[in-house]
Amino acid sequence: MSARFDLLIRNAEVIDGTGAPRFAADIGIRADRIERIGNLAQDSGSLEIDLGGRVAAPGFIDVHTHDDRLLLSDRSMAPKVSQGVTTVVAGNCGISLAPAPQPFSAGVTPPLNLLDDTGDWFRFRDFASYVQALESQPAATNCALLVGHTTLRLATMDRTDRPASPSEIKAMQQLVEQSLAAGAIGVSTGLFYEPAISAPPDEVIEVCRPLTRHRGVYCTHMRCEGDRIVDSLEETFRVGRELDVPVIISHHKVIGRANYGRSAETLAIIEHAMSRQTVCLDCYPYAAGSTILSADRAATSERVLVTWSRGMPEHAGRELATITAELGLSQEQAIERLLPAGAIYFRMHEDDVQRILAFEPTMIGSDGLPHDDAPHPRLWGTFPRVLGHYSRSLGLFPLERAIHKMTGLSARNFGLTDRGVVTEGAFADLALFDPATVDAGATYESPLQRAKGIDTVIVNGRLVWRDGQSAGEQPGRVLRRLS
């Protein structure tokens, strides 16, 4: 008896997301799930795609994003689906759209302005109403959501340059409880940024208390990724131990010339901690970071590119050094004129990037900033760059391991059930691509370029990307943890 599937993918090299070697098979999809994997030559599909030996992998999970608003304001999610991404984790680095902070009197407090610098999108009083908006108007990708500690501080405190009082901690704790009940999978912190830097570890632990009962995760942009990175790692582990929850070190890197090479040390420390508690980490495949523009960060960078500027918007995409010279000002004065603004900072060593990427437990997350005028190329290029540049060209790891770092490993660490693997019964989230040509199109000079080699992207059994463009469907869901 032959079966008829909704979607039948023929002649695939299946890389299943577990790290196992690839194998040849057909994939039969019915509704939102993978029903059969094997020789389906006798079967048919309402829609059929012949891959001719190209790869079918689980859709990529972007574990570190700032797509909180993009999910609502550009539901095609083109920067992500064009790379093969089918699920994004939003709410990272302590900043989430909900629950809404108190109204901003003098512009959106950085770094919340990375999500929206008008303030209009900070309109969801509670996390439940944000989730409801995402569910009533779905995006092309699935999402899993974190609630940000910096957002909570701005929702509950009159000023953030001090530790929270016991009553403020209580208020934040209640917001965490409500957010987790509404569907958040965890809490993120951005202790590196001004509005959270005054929060001592005990504040973080108390605010995050509800994570224990809800079995949520704790993600952190650590207080320091430079000289004091070891202290920050210890602080992170302590939060995880006291709450008995998994911790996720966001965009792991070592910053600043004096620290080049120290990933050997940090990875050894992380590996040791992993023997005692659950510790996960992600990184993006570039030796430059990107966030809001500041004189401190610029002063410790070898090169700076401006990604957006409210002060002088015409300079987006240009070198800070050139702008400074043209204006005939000091770098600090030029920055004053550009602010509020964003930047790309070259202050990492490529050897550290490669060592961290190759570390077996490291997941891939883009940290892309979707609202920047001239964004860091990681927004459009992260996943294909890992597959093309780092796996195929440099041979840093086999393709199976590269895929695992962006699928099966990520789903397991974040508790995303039946995602991140190509197996019978799993959700039909798939990236179909050509392993010989897949690579990033985006560069620092030309960042708004689609990936190369990505054929078709499928979310919950529906086509979201085909032949280099959006296929028009928006079948994404809000994913709960361990559900």
- Comparing CB distances to Zn ion, the nearer of 221 and 404 is 221
Residue 62 interacts with which of Cu ion, Zn ion, none, CB < 5 to 8 Å by class:
none
Strand partners of residue 463 = 458
Query: Which stretch in 216-224, 323-331, 340-348, 371-379 sits in contact with Zn ion by CB under 5 A?
Result: 216-224
Q: Can residue 115 be called a binding residue for Zn ion (CB under 5 A)?
A: no
Contact (Cβ atoms closer than 8 angstroms) between residue 10 and residue 438: no
Q: Of residues 219-278, which lie at the interface with Zn ion (CB under 5 A)?
A: 221
Contact (Cβ atoms closer than 8 angstroms) between residue 203 and residue 233: no
CB contact set of 474 (below 8 Å; sequence gap of 6+): 75, 76, 137, 138, 139, 140, 464
Q: Can residue 93 be called a binding residue for Cu ion (CB under 5 A)?
A: yes
* Among 86, 87, 92, 391, interactor with Cu ion by CB under 5 A: 92
From the CB of 424, what's the least distance to Cu ion, in Å?
35
Separation CA 217–CA 142 (nearest Å): 18
Contact (Cβ atoms closer than 8 angstroms) between residue 314 and residue 327: no
- Comparing CB distances to Zn ion, the nearer of 127 and 192 is 192
Query: Which stretch in 3-11, 42-50, 88-96, 313-321 sits in contact with Cu ion by CB under 5 A?
Result: 88-96
- Comparing CB distances to Cu ion, the nearer of 93 and 363 is 93
- Comparing CB distances to Zn ion, the nearer of 153 and 466 is 153
Separation CA 207–CA 187 (nearest Å): 9
Instruction: Record the tokens describing residue 26, joined without a space.
Output: 């057909």
Q: Of residues 366-395, which lie at the interface with Cu ion (CB under 5 A)?
A: 367
From the CB of 220, what's the least distance to Cu ion, in Å?
10
- Comparing CB distances to Zn ion, the nearer of 371 and 477 is 371
What residue number has its CB nearest to Cu ion? 93
From the CB of 414, what's the least distance to Cu ion, in Å?
15
Other C-beta atoms lying within 10 Å of the C-beta of residue 157: 22
From the CB of 365, what's the least distance to Zn ion, in Å?
10
Residue 30 interacts with which of Cu ion, Zn ion, none, CB < 5 to 8 Å by class:
none
Ranges of beta strands (E only) in 23-83 are: 23-30, 33-38, 44-50, 55-58, 60-62
From the CB of 427, what's the least distance to Cu ion, in Å?
26
Tally of helices (H runs) and strands (E runs) in the chain: 17, 20
- Comparing CB distances to Cu ion, the nearer of 316 and 379 is 379
Q: Can residue 168 be called a binding residue for Cu ion (CB under 5 A)?
A: no
From the CB of 93, what's the least distance to Zn ion, in Å?
3
Separation CA 468–CA 458 (nearest Å): 13
- DSSP conformation letters of 79-133: HHHTTTEEEEEES-TT--S-SPPSPPSSSPPTTGGGT-SSSTT---SSHHHHHHH
Instruction: Record the tokens describing residue 187, joined without a space.
Output: 């809490």
Cis peptide leading into residue 99 (ω within 30°):
yes
Query: Which stretch in 42-50, 80-88, 213-221, 465-473 sits in contact with Zn ion by CB under 5 A?
Result: 213-221
- CA neighbours within 13 Å on the CB side: how many for 335? 16
From the CB of 188, what's the least distance to Zn ion, in Å?
9
- Comparing CB distances to Zn ion, the nearer of 221 and 223 is 221
- Comparing CB distances to Zn ion, the nearer of 35 and 68 is 68
Element (H, E) at 381: helix 378-385
Q: Of residues 90-109, which lie at the interface with Zn ion (CB under 5 A)?
A: 93
Separation CA 362–CA 405 (nearest Å): 7
- Comparing CB distances to Cu ion, the nearer of 92 and 232 is 92
From the CB of 114, what's the least distance to Zn ion, in Å?
9
How far from 105 is each of 16, 172, 308, CA to CA, in Å? 50, 21, 22
Separation CA 124–CA 130 (nearest Å): 6
From the CB of 244, what's the least distance to Cu ion, in Å?
25
- Comparing CB distances to Zn ion, the nearer of 35 and 367 is 367
Residue 80 interacts with which of Cu ion, Zn ion, none, CB < 5 to 8 Å by class:
none
CB contact set of 207 (below 8 Å; sequence gap of 6+): 149, 152, 164, 169, 172, 173, 176, 187
Q: Of residues 349-368, which lie at the interface with Cu ion (CB under 5 A)?
A: 367
Separation CA 431–CA 295 (nearest Å): 41
Residues that bind Zn ion (CB under 5 A): 93, 221
Residues of this chain that interact with Cu ion (CB under 5 A) are 92-93, 367
